[in-house]
Every structure is written in structure tokens, then in C-alpha cells.
Amino acid sequence: MEKNLPNLTIVVPCYNEEFVLEKTTQELTRVLNHLVTTNKISSESMILYVDDGSKDSTWELIEKYVSTNPFIQGVKLSRNFGHQGAIIAGMETAREFSDCIITIDADLQDDVDAIEQFIDKYREGCEIVYGVRDKRDTDTFFKRNTALAFYKIMGKLGVHLVPNHADYRLLSKRALDEFVKYQEENLFIRGIVPLLGFKSAKVYYNRKERFAGESKYSLKKMLSFAFDGITSFSIAPVRFVTFLGFMLVLIGTAIAIYTICAKIFSYTVSGWTSLMLSVWLVGGVQLLAIGIIGEYIGKIFKETKKRPRYTIEKKTYKENSKGKVYSLEH
């Protein structure tokens, strides 16, 4: 029966997670042990830690766990490539030796016990399973409402995201093989996965407080992430600039006609205030338009370079011709 069980790899991106890694390892190991014991996954399933250029002892801890825990393997990236880059590195690495993969953050905010439900949905024939937050009670008022606004804006722009879903998901090997065909550098995973179109399901769970350490997503990073998502999937901002420019032309034409008429009928009024307001308004709109267009040009510039999205410096295993993983520690 073992040979018919799926090989599961849990991909965990890590950046300066030394304070939480031990607890994360305990919790994920507990879940894998349970799934193996209940004959839901293969005993060759694993936890794949991806060290995203951590500056603390994260990689040293990963190497330690590899030598003591048969479920643990790790890859170390040469520098910090960002959260999305680390996830992609883990997904593409695990693709060769996994029947399905689950991505989850290391901070234990996502409920690890929901993994069993992910596997149940997979065994029912789902190629993609989304982990969806049932509530956002742990978020601040600002974060909760800006997140909801982001999903609404993306929906209006024609980008179909799964609301309250982050990067806690299961992909089958078939879905993963299709996912890696998307080779753009600015890869917005949450928008790409729904485009795959395979049979999917949702698993609802309650998000917890971070177990230890600090959040790596500052306000600046969250805004950057949201803007990347918008510009990666829609040209609506550029179209809005075009529409705004058209409206300003109409307004300018009306003002020109008014000015000519006032001149003809010798009705002149000191217009310093209106002139200054017009100059600042039009100047601001022009700079905004140039900035938005520049963002798209910048993305095109990056895409044409075809640079790799990540570089692996070390890994704790080797593979044979059949994709089976052997630890280098033993």
C-alpha cells in the first residue's frame, strides 16, 4: 500500500527564523507522523526548509535538524531573494520528487492541523487546495481593511484572487508542472495559481498569533507587494492615466474657450490663484502618469534580462535518477 501513497513535501520559506524554527519543526513533524501512521502519505514525505539568505543561525539549525530528523531537508539560497522567490525556489526544487507540495510560512500563524484536510481534498481528486482564513481577528483594523480593499480592487481590475488566502496552499505535481511554465520574473503566485484552472477546493482555518520573532512584512513591503500584484496582472492603471489625461484635455479646452470669450468681451479677472492651482494640478498628474508608466517600463526591463529568480548555494540532500532524495548528512 505504501507505493500508492502520495509523496508530500511541505515547503517552508525561512528568513531569520531561529526563534521559531524548533517549534515549527516539532509541529510539522507531528503532523507528518500522524499522516504517515494513518496511511494518508508516504513515509518518504518531507519538510523542505528554504533559507532565504538569513543573517542569524537559521541555516545552522536546519543542518542540525537534518541530522536528527528523517523528515527534514533544506536548501540555502545565496542571498535574500524575498518571500515569493523563496517559495518558488522550494516549489521548483520539490517538484522532481513530490506527488504534491504544501507551502506554509515558518511563523506557525497558519494552522498546521489543516494540512490533513488538504491531503483529504487532494485524495478526493483536487489538484489545488487553498488555505483560507475564516476570520481576520488577529489583524489590526488598518491591515484587515486594507487587505479587504486590495481584494476588491484586484477583482475590479479583472484579477481573480481567492479572498483571505495567502501562501498556504497545496499543489499537485500536475498543477506544479504547469505552474513552472510561467517564467516571468515578477511572478505574483496568488494570481497565477487560480489561472491554472484545475479542480480546486478551499480549507478554512483560524489564523493564530505569531509564535515568536518579528513579522518580516512591514507596511512598505505590503504596499510594494500589493502594487506588484496590480501591475503584474493589469494595465488598468495605465488606462486610468489615459482617461485622466483625456478628461484634463476636455477641461483645458473648456477653460481656453472661457478665456477667449472673456477676452473678446473685455471681461478679465486676475487669475493668479486659478493659474497656480492649474499648474500644480496638471504637473502632479503628469508626474503621477510618468511614474505609473515607468513602473511598467521597469518591469519590462527586468523581464528582458531573463535573470534567474533565485540561486541555490547549498542543499542537504542529493537525488538519484528517479528523483529519490538521499541525505548528505548520513
For the four alpha carbons of 78, 82, 85 and 89, in that order, the dihedral sign comes to: positive
Give residue 175's Cα distance to chain centre.
17
Is the model's pLDDT at 145 over the cut of 80? Answer: no
pLDDT of residue 239: 65
* DSSP secondary structure, 217-275, as one string: --HHHHHHHHHHHHHHH--HHHHHHHHHHHHHHHHHHHHHHHHHHHHHTT-----HHHH
* Residues 182-209, mean pLDDT to the nearest whole number: 85
For residues 123 and 207, the model is more confident at 123
Q: Could you tell me the residue ranges of all domains in the chain?
A: 2-233+308-327, 236-305
What phi, psi does 77 have (nearest 5°)?
A: -80, 150
**Could you tell me what percentage of the chain is helix, strand and coil, using 3-state DSSP and rounding each to the nearest 5?**
50, 15, 35
Q: What is the dihedral of CA 289, 291, 158, 114, to 10 degrees?
A: -160
The rounded Cα 270 to chain-centroid distance in angstroms is 55
The tens digit of pLDDT for each residue in 265-318 reads: 666 556 655 665 566 667 767 777 777 777 777 777 777 777 788 899 999 887
**Mean pLDDT across 219-234:** 62
The answer to which of 46-55, 191-200, 241-250, 264-273 has the lowest mean pLDDT is: 264-273
Asked if pLDDT for residue 259 goes beyond 70, the answer is no
Residue of 165 and 318 predicted with greater confidence: 165
Given a cut of 50, is residue 44 above it in pLDDT?
A: yes
Range of lowest pLDDT (8-22, 106-120, 189-203) = 189-203
Condensed to tens digits (0 to 9), the pLDDT of residues 193-205 reads: 888 989 999 999 9
What's residue 1's pLDDT?
Answer: 40
Is residue 57's pLDDT more than 70?
A: yes
- Cβ–Cβ < 8 Å for 166, 104: no
Instruction: Choose the weakest-confidence range: 16-20, 35-39, 72-76, 157-161.
Output: 157-161
Residue percentage of the chain with pLDDT more than 70? 69
Q: Is 176 exposed, middle or buried (0-12, 13-18, 19+ CB in 10 A)?
A: buried
Burial 230-247 (b: 16+ CB within 10 A, else e): bbbbbebbeeebeeeeee
- Average pLDDT (140-153) is 69
CATH number of 2-233+308-327, picked from 3.40.50.300, 3.90.550.10, 1.10.260.40, 3.60.21.10: 3.90.550.10
User: Which SS3 state, helix, strand or coil, does residue 182 take?
Assistant: coil
Question: 248 pLDDT exceeds 80?
Answer: no
Digit-coded pLDDT (tens) for 72-115? 999 999 999 888 889 999 999 999 889 999 999 998 889 999 99
Average pLDDT of the chain, as a whole number: 81
